[in-house]
Structure 1
Amino acid sequence: MSSRRNTTLKVIKGAKAGDPPPPRRRLVTRAVPRPAEPIEEVLERLDQEPVENLAEAGDLTAVGGPAEAEDSPDPAAVGTAAGSDTDAGQKGRSAPAEPGPPGRGRAVTALLVVLLSAALAGAGVYGHRWYVDRATDQARREAVAAARQAAVNFVSVSAASVDRDLQRITAGATGDFRDEFTRGQAQVRTAVVENKVQSQGTVLRAGLVSGDRRHAVVLVAVDATVKNVKATDGRPSHYRIQLDLVRDRDSGDWLVSKLQFVG
């Protein structure tokens, strides 16, 4: 039988008292060598490898471990401090007012909208009515003023200014009245010139029969003093004239569309 080798490490003799202790070997985990490699070679390699300084290793461990652990804040402490700051901030802020019932808020808003719409609609209707009434009153006053002037122009004719007088009457006429007066203008002019007519009228009264912003009927009472070859001193005449007027869309002037003597 083959005898087994004794692989037990023996204590090296020759160490003296007072000598520093031999360096401690580092424990290294290695794979078990193949059976073909002698165990003596493995031990020799272990003896030749440098030994790690345990003191330095301890310092490194202190720097990387315990020191960092001391500087690191405690998660529980952090959570407590954060909670305290949050509570303090919430206590410093005033608590928000509790909203009222949503249904009541919507009802109030809807009521306000209805009231506002009704007020605006009423104001719009009233404003439009006020504008229409104001515009109608203004148009009626202008129609009466135009009728007064047209009546005076119609009865105020002079042989010395016949062309200008007739032109003034034509300028204030429209429609059928303008057409009729234009057709008979030549005869009127001849009669005024031959009879040396001089007539000057004065309005006594004028009243609106009916009217709106476009049409009006006006009665005008006129006194006139007429002179001619037979009445050199002049004789008074009294006329009641009804004038139908329309408002021109372009110029806005009131023009006589019909003229007739009444009463």
Structure 2
Amino acid sequence: MTGVPEEVAVPSRRNTTFKVIKGAKAGGPTPARRRVVTVLHPADPVERVLERLDQEPVEDPTEAGNLTVVADDEPRRPAGRRPTSAAQADRDTGPETGRRKPAVPGGPHRGRALTALLVVLLAAALAGAGVYGHRWYVDRATDQAHREAIAAARQAAVNFVSVSAASVDRDLQRVTAGATGDFKDEFTRGQAQVRTAVVENKVQSQGSVLRAGLLSGDRRHAVVLVAVDATVKNVKAPDGRPSHYRIQLDLVRDRDSGEWLVSKLQFVG
């Protein structure tokens, strides 16, 4: 027949129906669109041949060169599918549904690698947060300790220059209570002489802090400079005279009470 490729097999003497598949080439994948062409036995009468040819649909000339003929009793396979071995089909399909399993790029190894990477990143983030949190806590605690040390130094300087004959014992005791170490030992040894001088000269002194600043320190030690003004009255200056002091105080933090105590006191100007 005209338009049928050379690959068409010669039918037997009985009438055999062949299927012509549009849009395919011999030996290639079989597409879904098909139409049926009847191959007639050469011994049929001319009238019958003409009758059957008249019943055939008109062939599209654009598709005439893309026809593949297969016998009706030939096993068919779905369009677009290439034959595969049974082993390959078992690997490509699931055990229950028979559908092709979707391919996962990289497979299980990539999934484990991503999980390991996430674990590492999380551990690094937690470690960084821990380091930052500890540093923030240390800085905050150090700043608080410095503020407390400066406040203690201001009060100790005022206590040291504020003394009166009328309240000498209480004033000296206040200085001793805020002292420790060498300074406390020295002040305690000379406390009797100081008391005698204050009483005999009728001393009355009252100080006030102008400013104070931290020279150095950490959470347990501090060196603070305090500027103090005081008005001092005695038998030689009954109306009082102003005095200005610059006092440097070394302080340590008591481990038990947490209070800042003066370990050293000296006038620096």
TM-score normalized by structure 1? Answer: 0.63
Name the residue aligned to 1:141: 147
Looking at structure 1, the residues matched to 244 and 226 of structure 2 have their Cα atoms a distance apart, in angstroms, of: 11
**How many residues in Structure 1 have an aligned counterpart in Structure 2?**
172
- Displacement of 1:230 in angstroms is 1.0
Name the residue aligned to 1:117: 123
Higher Rg of the two aligned structures? 1
- Displacement of 1:97 in angstroms is 8.2
Structure 2, gaps ≥5 residues long: 1-95
- Displacement of 1:105 in angstroms is 1.3
Looking at structure 2, the residues matched to 167 and 254 of structure 1 have their Cα atoms a distance apart, in angstroms, of: 17
1:219 to 225, 228, 231: 225
User: Alpha-carbon deviations, 1:77-102, whole Å to 9, x = none?
Assistant: xxxxxxxxxxxxx77xxx99887721
Instruction: Return structure 1 stretches of 4+ with deviation > 4 angstroms.
Output: 95-100
SS in 1 for 2:163: coil
Kindly indicate whether residue 167 of structure 2 is the aligned counterpart of residue 167 of structure 1: no
Kindly indicate whether residue 87 of structure 2 is the aligned counterpart of residue 104 of structure 1: no
Name the residue aligned to 2:11: none
State the identity as a percent.
88
Looking at structure 1, the residues matched to 172 and 200 of structure 2 have their Cα atoms a distance apart, in angstroms, of: 15
Name the residue aligned to 2:190: 184
Looking at structure 2, the residues matched to 158 and 186 of structure 1 have their Cα atoms a distance apart, in angstroms, of: 15
Looking at structure 2, the residues matched to 155 and 98 of structure 1 have their Cα atoms a distance apart, in angstroms, of: 87
1:237 to 205, 230, 243: 243
TM-score normalized by structure 2? Answer: 0.61
Letter of the structure 1 residue corresponding to residue 166 of structure 2: A
Looking at structure 2, the residues matched to 176 and 98 of structure 1 have their Cα atoms a distance apart, in angstroms, of: 81
2:199 to 193, 200, 221: 193
Looking at structure 1, the residues matched to 193 and 227 of structure 2 have their Cα atoms a distance apart, in angstroms, of: 26
Name the residue aligned to 2:47: none
SS in 2 for 1:139: helix
SS in 1 for 2:135: helix
- Displacement of 1:171 in angstroms is 0.3
Letter of the structure 1 residue corresponding to residue 195 of structure 2: R
Looking at structure 1, the residues matched to 149 and 252 of structure 2 have their Cα atoms a distance apart, in angstroms, of: 8
Looking at structure 2, the residues matched to 96 and 203 of structure 1 have their Cα atoms a distance apart, in angstroms, of: 84
Point out the structure with the larger strand share.
2
Point out the structure with the larger helix share.
1
Structure 1, gaps ≥5 residues long: 1-89
Looking at structure 2, the residues matched to 233 and 192 of structure 1 have their Cα atoms a distance apart, in angstroms, of: 16
SS in 2 for 1:249: coil
Looking at structure 2, the residues matched to 186 and 235 of structure 1 have their Cα atoms a distance apart, in angstroms, of: 25
Looking at structure 2, the residues matched to 102 and 213 of structure 1 have their Cα atoms a distance apart, in angstroms, of: 54
**Residues 1-263 of structure 1: pairs in structure 2 closer than 5 A:** 101-263=107-269
User: Alpha-carbon deviations, 1:107-144, whole Å to 9, x = none?
Assistant: 01100110001001100100011011100011001100
Looking at structure 1, the residues matched to 103 and 141 of structure 2 have their Cα atoms a distance apart, in angstroms, of: 55
